[in-house]
Amino acid sequence: MLAHLRSRQGDQAALLALSSAAIPQSLLVQPEARLTCRQYGALYRTVAATLDDEMLGLWSRPIRSGTLKYLMLSLLDAPTVLVALNRFVRFWNLLLDDYRLQISTRSSLVRVSLAERTPGAVVNVLGHELMMKLAHGIVSWLLGREVGLHAVAFRFVRPRHAEDYAVLFPGEVRFDAQATSIDFHYQDCAEQFTREKHALWAFLKRAPEDWTFSAMHRASLSGKARAYLEQHLAQPVTIQHLAQALHTSVRTLNRRFAEEGTHFQAVKDGVRRDIAVHRLANSNTSVDALSFDLGFANATGFCRAFKHWTGSSPSDYRKGTRQDA
């Protein structure tokens, strides 16, 4: 998010953007550091406003402020989601030089994909992520519910943070694909919707939160597992407990986790890590109390796990997030 801002306006502009979003500089050198949704949204808006580019300089042509508003206005009177998606594709193809969007229907699926206009176009990871997330977020907003996905594919290798995609995309996620694409279920795209302008203004004011993060029911198994774990972390939760809560078998859970490219322990560790780094950075909770709240038998076990997750001890992580805050 900061790369183009740095190249255009220098390191000082990047530091000012971090400060405006209440993000300590030290987090930039911690590979496993986490941001809250609020920090992410604040940083996105600051960078977009500073660059006058709603896509943060990720495409060859700037996407000027106000673009999202006019895109959304063009969708409101569409009779169905499928018509809205066709308008979405045509709109972006007026703006993008390096890529073009394509929409196709096959069997029970509707696919929106990114295709190179010229061979060898740069694959900007965040740009590809945001375009797919924007498509999903807009469809979900139009229907007033988080829309489940058949699959999302990305034309880049599996990143080290791959498990986070299960939180953002409620469906199978694949990497190293021939093209970046998102597959909707046709029955969702065939639905009619009603959205008024007054609701759109609230959507735009909160952007990018409403199209990046869903406050609705999580459709993916990883999302459901995270929701359950967040409520029961102080307890010794096992996959058997989760299977019982979701009224299914452990075997089925393991198969579905594998389809999403993860497993139960990875999801559990991810929830513990995210809560731990947030509370270390934003509260005075002691390490002993935090380890208990996260379901560890003792602080030693928590400190060992936290260093494995982030490369830092809990106390060093806390110091690092506060020394330049």
**DSSP secondary structure of 28-97:** GG-TT----HHHHHHHHHHHHHHHT-TTTT-SSS---TTHHHHHHHHHTT-SSHHHHHHHHHHHHHTT-S
Write down the mean pLDDT value for the chain.
89
In this predicted structure, what is the pLDDT of residue 217?
Answer: 45
pLDDT classification of 309: cutoffs 50, 70, 90:
confident
Distance CA 250, CA 21 (A): 41
In this predicted structure, what is the pLDDT of residue 218?
Answer: 57
Provide mean pLDDT across the span 148-169. 88
What percent of the chain lies above the pLDDT cut of 70? 96
What residues contact 94, with CB distance under 8 A and at least 6 apart?
A: none
Backbone phi, then psi, for 69, in 5-degree steps? -60, -50
Provide mean pLDDT across the span 141-158. 92
pTM of the predicted protein model: 0.77
In this predicted structure, what is the pLDDT of residue 270?
Answer: 87
What residues contact 115, with CB distance under 8 A and at least 6 apart?
A: 99, 100, 101, 102, 179
* 325 pLDDT more than 60: no
Distance CA 81, CA 143 (A): 8
Question: Each residue of 204-261: pLDDT tens digit?
Answer: 988 898 888 765 445 678 878 888 898 888 888 899 999 999 999 999 999 988 877 7
Distance CA 19, CA 9 (A): 16
In this predicted structure, what is the pLDDT of residue 323?
Answer: 55
Asked whether the beta carbons of 189 and 85 are under 8 A apart, the reply is yes
* 139 pLDDT more than 50: yes
* 152 pLDDT more than 90: yes
**Of the candidates 81, 91, 90, which has an alpha carbon nearest to the alpha carbon of residue 54?**
91
Provide mean pLDDT across the span 256-271. 86
* 156 pLDDT more than 50: yes
Question: Each residue of 17-37: pLDDT tens digit?
Answer: 999 998 888 788 777 777 778
- DSSP code, position 244: H
- Which tops the pLDDT comparison, 85 or 309? 85
Distance CA 226, CA 167 (A): 9
Place of tokens 């869903």: 214
The reply to whether CATH 1.10.10.60 applies to domain 221-322 is yes
